[in-house]
């Protein structure tokens, strides 16, 4: 697995983002987590096989729970999708050292391009084989 996605499914985001992922990088292995607890479990148990994490945040409370996983996110290439452009949220998001920050209701074409490039660059089969 090269990619882990945290996608809360209560607003139809799952279908939208998985369709984008299939169009962007159809051969990528990925795991989708719909709960913070499952996301944390995967990060803890499969860290060596994960290279890229895409995190869709639905609200500030959700972001606080993601931020609490900061130590587990260290070393991953992050793409964050935030619910707002609040300066406090943006500042805290930057502390996670993401490669890209997008807005939930923003243009997804740039985000898809960044995700594709991240997967091309960081989903190295030799790395994945060596780490298993």
Which run of H or E residues covers position 82? strand 77-82
Determine, yes or no, domain membership for 116: yes
Closest CA to 26 of 117, 128, 122, 116: 116
Q: Which domain holds residue 72?
A: 3-127
pLDDT tens track for 4-24: 889 886 666 677 777 777 777
Stretch 62-79: mean pLDDT: 92
Instruction: Decide: 3 and 30 in contact? Cβ < 8 Å.
Output: yes
In the numeric block, the tokens 């990925």 are attached to 30
Q: Distance between CA atoms of 63 and 107, rounded to whole angstroms?
A: 21
* Backbone conformation region of residue 56, classed left if phi is above 0, alpha if psi is from -120 to 50, else beta: beta
Write the CATH number for 15.
Answer: 3.40.50.2300
Q: pTM of the prediction? A: 0.82
Determine, yes or no, domain membership for 132: no
Stretch 109-129: mean pLDDT: 69
Which pLDDT score, from 0 to 100, does residue 16 have?
73
């Amino acid at each position: 697995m090269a990619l882990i996605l945290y996608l809360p499914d209560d607003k139809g985001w799952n279908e939208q983002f998985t369709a984008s992922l299939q169009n962007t990088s159809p051969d990528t292995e990925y795991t989708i987590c719909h709960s913070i607890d499952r996301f944390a479990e995967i990060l803890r148990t499969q860290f060596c096989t994960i290279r890229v994490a895409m995190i869709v945040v639905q609200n500030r409370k959700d972001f606080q729970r993601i931020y609490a996983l900061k130590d587990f996110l260290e070393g991953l290439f992050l793409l964050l999708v935030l619910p707002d452009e609040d300066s406090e949220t943006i500042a805290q998001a930057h502390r996670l050292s993401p490669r890209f920050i997008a807005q939930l209701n923003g243009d997804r074409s740039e985000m898809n391009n960044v995700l594709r490039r991240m997967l091309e660059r960081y989903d190295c089969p030799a790395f994945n084989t060596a780490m298993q």
